[in-house]
Structure 1
Amino acid sequence: MNRRSQLPWGASSQPSLYGGPRQSRGSRQLFVLGAIALGVIILVWFLIGRMCGGAGCTDYYCPSDRKIEAPEGYEFVSRIFAYNQDKGAVAPGNDLSIAVELTTEVPDGAALSFYRYIDETRNWEPIAPAVLDAQGKVVAATFTGTPGIMAVMRRNAPGGQVVAYLPHNAPLHRDAAGRVSIVHPIDFKPASDGAISGELSTIKAEGFEVYPVIASNNSVRGDVAIVENILASRESRANHVQQIVSRLAKDNIKGVDIAYLDLPVTARTSFTLFIGDLYNQLHAQNKQLTLTLPSPIKVQNRVDEGAYDWTELAKTADLIKMAPYRDQATFRLTMPEILQYLTERVAPAKLILTVSPYATETGGETVNVMSLAQAMSIATRVTVRAEADAITTSTNIKIAGTNIDKDEGLTGIRWSADTATVAFSYKQAQGAGSRTIYLENFFSIGFKLELVGTYKLGGVAVEDASANEFLGNIWPALVPFITSGQPILLQPNPQDLNPKWKVKDNQGTIEDTGRGSANWFTPAQAGTYTISLTLSDGVSLFENSIEVNVKARPVTSTPSPTATPAR
């Protein structure tokens, strides 16, 4: 599982404001500069300044006088509208294109969506993302139905946007429910002919938008070469754009995330052109385009963007998420410089910092990604520092944590103030050098979230927001940040990081040395005994054990006394 600066899948024009019914996804015809529906096209303009509301309104939606509150964490940025019953029903097979003037100025990259009100449940439900025009005054969307009551709202959570990546068809973490604004299932990848392979995850959108990811990276041999070939010519780029637009129309997808990582610098211009073309096509259909880009890197006295022109890409993307920066040894030193560089080129509200529940391992030139459970299984390995013949009854034996034994020059599990993580270093076999594992948890994530407020970023993304219990549970740090906008900056109690030793059934006496090992005075009876080591990352407990065979101590024969004859 060798990966370098990557997410789990790798190393790492004006919106259309025309409106009215149009043929739905089953029979749309797509053109180069936009999707213009064939059939009945009726202009639907909700320019609020010219509307008198109620009487005299001839549009499909008219301003309503209903007083309905926005749900917690959201605010209205338009008036509330009601469907104009005088227009009758929209013909089957047609969609409705809507344009609405905003009543509130919104920053670039704000989380805007159309919502419908359900009288039976008294709840607002999302309909479609609201695509903002270049002037920031009008938003547009395409409805596949005709909700009775609708309005445009934005999420105004103090922590900003909350984006959740998910493996294909993985369930969302329970603490993410009601808190995430966008879910990115990692569903698709580009094929060599420019088509899109993969199937859309089955996710019930409950208060969030679902924009699947089209991903490519060097974790799968040949995938990056496929993208390079697609980007190589205008014709192949145009074909790929049409394939993406067609797939989104086929599956009724409202937006998409492009995560083409690990591209060479030679693809910089062609990738920018591709994103620009895709953005124009999707916005013509009132669909959203977001990007996942690898973090720039600090090289000597400059920041290197590599294949990704952040300044130009930010002009043709609704949101940009910066993939996790893996090297925890340099994160706190270089990330402030990288974010300062980016926010001078990208509107901060459009920039999202990604945090991760995965542990990382560094050493040499590679960065490995692993689950918290895998990392702690390495930390809790146990060994006996004695020859087998010396493990006998009523004997003092040293039991050690293989990878935390300070007598072997190891660090043990500790809080690293330099990296703001719980970490430990260990030696590899056969003289392959040492490795350091950094654990992501409640404590480390708080110090990363601090950067969101410092640089006024648009929010936070979670690399894997699934219910995978083997990952670090970082949601106890995320939830208060989402609701308050303030990170929790705490360090673990050093005592919680100390190893705990136990012999099953308390056989013999075991005492911690305070150096990642323990002295065990073996029982008087021979047998097989189980010794366990328990470690904590400051949040959860992890245990590993070994069975030790204790032999009976050999009986030493004593010479018989010899009688001495009397003289």
Structure 2
Amino acid sequence: MSNGPFDQKGGGRGRARGPQSPSGQQPDPPPQPDPLLRRGPIGVRRSSRRQRSGGSDFGLLLVGFAVVALAAAIAVLFVPPIALLDSDDAPDGGATPAANGAVTAIPSLTPTTGVTAALRESIPEVPDSLRSVSPIYDIDIPVTLEGPYVLTLRLNAETQDQRNLGAYTFENGAWQRLGAALLSADGAAASVEVVIPPRNIAILRRLQFRDTVTGSLPPGQELHPEAANTITIINPISFVPAEDGSLLSLGQLESLPPDITQAVYPVVLAARQDADTINGVLASEQLRRQHKNNILLMVQTGRFDGVDIDYQFITDPLREEFTEFITELADQLHRDDRGITISVPLPTRDASGLNLGAYDLAALGAVVDRIKLVPPQDQSIFRESLVATLPAVLNRVPREKVLLTVSPYSIQKSVGGIETLTQRVALGLASRLAVRETGPLVAGQRVRLVGDNIFQDGGASGLFWDRFANMVSYVYPDSAGNNVTVWIENRFSLAFKLDLIEEFQLGGIAISDVSAGGGQANIWPVITQFLEAGAVNLVRPNEELLIPLWEVEGGDLTGSGTAGWVVWNTPTVPGDYETRLIVSDGDVRVGSQIDVTLEP
């Protein structure tokens, strides 16, 4: 038998799916009760982009919930007075005006699509943070047309300014963002790829941000496309302190986009492994002065807008030295009309009360422009720690200066410590599949298939919603029998974190990683909604989507699939067969596959 990625469409021999509920029936789960899903992208040119099966450890396949069209692309263009045209093959006069002013598309590939659109006389009121750059159209796309699509709208006026353009729909008295809108080459139109048709659509430009949004860009990584339209300050992680107070370059500045419009505050990072170095620098008045001057020189010669100082491992006895260092650095930066932000760990509470450690929040908050508050990575105490500590923090620092640090990464906690995982890897661990029988397998044999890390009879919990962490989670034993807990970060869990910003009226968000690297949770729709609406929808994923899905290429399945195992009654015909376990956090699906050889 062998492991490898799989294509969920399959082919050839029939496929049996395992029991998904105690009754043994595999439910067809209803749409998730999340407005973000209901307002998901929508459209009218068939997208030619296809999902690819991933190749990574565990033989994983990322399975999206959007159905990707396999037919040829049909491009549709809205132009006053609303024409839906096939961009490649439409015949002359291919759009027929109706009596009510709507236009019915007649693309050559599908002569009777029934797509209609109507121009509204006026656009609904747009909030001060947005400006309309196109009319609003009411559209109707028949369910027989499969998505995703690309909708292209003619703008009110030509522009070459791509910044902060988005496609929006007006629902329930409020504007909801469908996705980023991309300008056409001539600047006369903008398009968006969507999955579920909206009732109406318009192109709007975001003019201002409700909050400060900073984003850290790790060395060697490219900026996520959505970050370019969302963050207000970009923090390329660019330097580490040296023992002599100088700065060692990480080379990240060279990878910044040349057309970046955000303020740039390079990060000087002293991570845990650099703790001795930075503590030694701060302990020496001469080295401390040299370090400050080197940072000022870097900002001035690089013509940066400011600097971000991330020294989270300062020892308590150096509290005064660190405060003096930041105070002097901030004073000189502000004299040069430049800014400074700093990252500090969330204070802890002990028997004596609030333990600030090396960080005099009142003094620091008085001199810096923003403080990025970094909560504990342990998700079991994330919310509890913030709720208990934030009131005391806000008594010392103006709340508009406090940013809550959030991450697109999942968390794994074990006896060895805490580490970050991508969403895909976290789900990949949950989907790890095994065949319990050893030795050659023969056709017609009963075989037990087990999800190693969701096998409840083996001490695992299976996937569930952790109501304390407000995250999808699972627990499994390691080889020594010690519990390992995984919390999966996704758009549902992030919404609960952003809600704390609204609850405590903080100054904004600090995103720990805004790179375009694969596997992280797609946090951008939730962040955009929060910035524009000032609130988020607090909903849990559909619980039925947390039930594992079992598939075999032949034979049939019995057993308790919900408990992490099934029995495969193998086919009586020898040969090679695929077996699969697919798991979901309610946001995306990831699967593992084992190819099994059945001998005569």
The 1:297/1:351 distance shift into structure 2, 3 A limit, reads: same
| Paired AA for residue 73 in structure 1 | S
Structure 2: how far apart are the matches of 1:250 and 1:121? 33
The CA deviation at 1:175 is: 2.2
The CA deviation at 1:325 is: 2.4
The 1:74/1:295 distance shift into structure 2, 3 A limit, reads: farther
The 1:344/1:425 distance shift into structure 2, 3 A limit, reads: same
CA RMSD of aligned residues (A): 2.5
Q: Which of 298, 312, 318 in structure 2 is aligned with 1:267?
A: 318
Structure 2: how far apart are the matches of 1:305 and 1:205? 40
Structure 2 counterpart of 1:172:
223
Structure 1 counterpart of 2:214:
163
Percent identity at matched positions?
32
Contact 1:264/1:307 (CA < 8 Å) preserved in 2? yes
**What runs of 5+ residues in structure 2 fail to find an aligned partner?**
1-126, 132-157, 164-205
2:247 matches 1:196? yes
Structure 2 counterpart of 1:282:
333
Structure 1: how far apart are the matches of 2:575 and 2:390? 60
The CA deviation at 1:423 is: 0.4
**What runs of 5+ residues in structure 1 fail to find an aligned partner?**
1-70, 76-119, 126-153, 553-567
Cα deviation per residue 1:265-295 (whole Å; 9 max; x = unaligned)?
A: 1221111111011111111211111101122
Structure 1 counterpart of 2:121:
none
Q: Which of 224, 249, 266 in structure 2 is aligned with 1:212?
A: 266
Structure 2 counterpart of 1:98:
none
Q: Which of 565, 568, 575 in structure 2 is aligned with 1:517?
A: 565
Structure 1 counterpart of 2:75:
none
2:509 matches 1:453? no
Contact 2:476/2:485 (CA < 8 Å) preserved in 1? yes
The 1:195/1:157 distance shift into structure 2, 3 A limit, reads: same
Structure 2: how far apart are the matches of 1:207 and 1:537? 35
Structure 2 counterpart of 1:73:
129
Cα deviation per residue 1:207-244 (whole Å; 9 max; x = unaligned)?
A: 421111000111x3xx2111111101222111111111
Structure 2 counterpart of 1:304:
355
The 1:213/1:72 distance shift into structure 2, 3 A limit, reads: farther
The 1:474/1:266 distance shift into structure 2, 3 A limit, reads: same
Cα deviation per residue 1:285-324 (whole Å; 9 max; x = unaligned)?
A: 1111110112222335733221211111111211111124
Structure index of larger Rg: 1
2:546 matches 1:497? yes
Structure 1 counterpart of 2:599:
551
Structure 1: how far apart are the matches of 2:350 and 2:377? 16
Q: Which of 555, 559, 573 in structure 2 is aligned with 1:508?
A: 555
Q: Give the number of aligned pairs.
A: 404
Cα deviation per residue 1:364-401 (whole Å; 9 max; x = unaligned)?
A: 37211121122122111111122325x32212221010
The CA deviation at 1:121 is: 6.2
Cα deviation per residue 1:520-546 (whole Å; 9 max; x = unaligned)?
A: 101112233221111111101101111
- More moved, 321-330 vs 491-500: 321-330
Structure 2 counterpart of 1:239:
290
Structure 2 counterpart of 1:317:
368
Length-normalised TM-score, structure 2: 0.64
Cα deviation per residue 1:496-519 (whole Å; 9 max; x = unaligned)?
A: 11111112xx22112462211122
The CA deviation at 1:171 is: 2.4
Structure 1: how far apart are the matches of 2:577 and 2:509? 48
4+ residue segments displaced more than 6 Å: 120-125
Q: Which of 503, 515, 530 in structure 1 is aligned with 2:578?
A: 530
Structure 1: how far apart are the matches of 2:497 and 2:423? 18
Q: Which of 464, 476, 485 in structure 2 is aligned with 1:414?
A: 464
The CA deviation at 1:205 is: 5.4
The 1:301/1:404 distance shift into structure 2, 3 A limit, reads: farther
The 1:300/1:403 distance shift into structure 2, 3 A limit, reads: farther
Structure 1 counterpart of 2:21:
none
Structure 2 counterpart of 1:404:
454
Contact 1:175/1:479 (CA < 8 Å) preserved in 2? no
Contact 2:459/2:477 (CA < 8 Å) preserved in 1? no
Write out aligned runs for 1:95-494 (5 A): 156-158=208-210, 160-198=211-249, 199=251, 200-201=253-254, 202-204=256-258, 206-218=260-272, 220=273, 223-300=274-351, 302-364=353-415, 366-388=417-439, 391-431=441-481, 433-494=482-543
